[in-house]
């Protein structure tokens, strides 16, 4: 399946990979990289935008950190390569419901929405 650039995705990754210090430095900047991702199983979810899904090394995504406000400088965006062998599943959707995002928070979600 071809995944278009700009597609909205939920990437379920191996939590061990997400908890590597070098990865957490970028996924958990606001909470400190020493804080581990926890959850009900060994997965971790990232809601993101696809930049390139045709790279043989993995999928490139754009991750947004911070609160979405009128002041766009409050949101930091960066590109991240997730190796194919660390991806458990990749879900493509136009929009992910608040219920799905709430459930994702239970297993340690990273994305552009606020935590409760």
Q: What is the pLDDT of residues 11-31, one digit of tens each?
A: 999 999 999 998 988 887 666
With bands split at pLDDT 50, 70 and 90, how would you rate the model's confidence at 115?
very low
What is the helix (H) or strand (E) element at residue 25, kind and residue range? helix 21-27
pLDDT (average), residues 65-85: 74
pLDDT (average), residues 5-15: 93
Predicted local distance difference test score (pLDDT) of residue 63:
82
pLDDT at 84 over 60: yes
* Global confidence as pTM: 0.75
Q: In the chain, where are the structural domains located?
A: 8-94
Predicted local distance difference test score (pLDDT) of residue 55:
96
The answer for residues whose C-beta is within 8 angstroms of residue 61's C-beta and 6 or more apart is 9, 11, 46, 48, 49, 50, 51, 79, 80, 82
* Per-residue model confidence as pLDDT tens digits over 90-113: 999 887 777 776 776 665 555 543
Predicted local distance difference test score (pLDDT) of residue 116:
36
Nearest to 111 by CA among 3, 9, 4, 5: 9
* Per-residue model confidence as pLDDT tens digits over 36-50: 888 888 999 898 999
């Amino acid at each position: 399946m071809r995944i278009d650039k700009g597609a909205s995705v939920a990437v379920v990754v191996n939590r061990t990979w997400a908890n590597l210090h070098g990865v957490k430095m970028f996924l958990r900047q606001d909470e400190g990289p020493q804080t581990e991702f926890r959850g009900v199983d060994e997965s971790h979810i990232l809601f993101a935008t696809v930049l390139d899904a045709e790279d043989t090394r993995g999928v490139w995504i754009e991750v947004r950190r911070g609160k979405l406000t009128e002041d766009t400088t409050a949101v930091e965006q960066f590109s991240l390569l997730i190796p194919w062998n660390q991806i458990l599943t990749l879900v493509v959707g136009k929009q992910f419901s608040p219920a799905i995002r709430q459930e994702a928070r239970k297993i340690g979600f990273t994305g552009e929405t606020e935590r409760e």
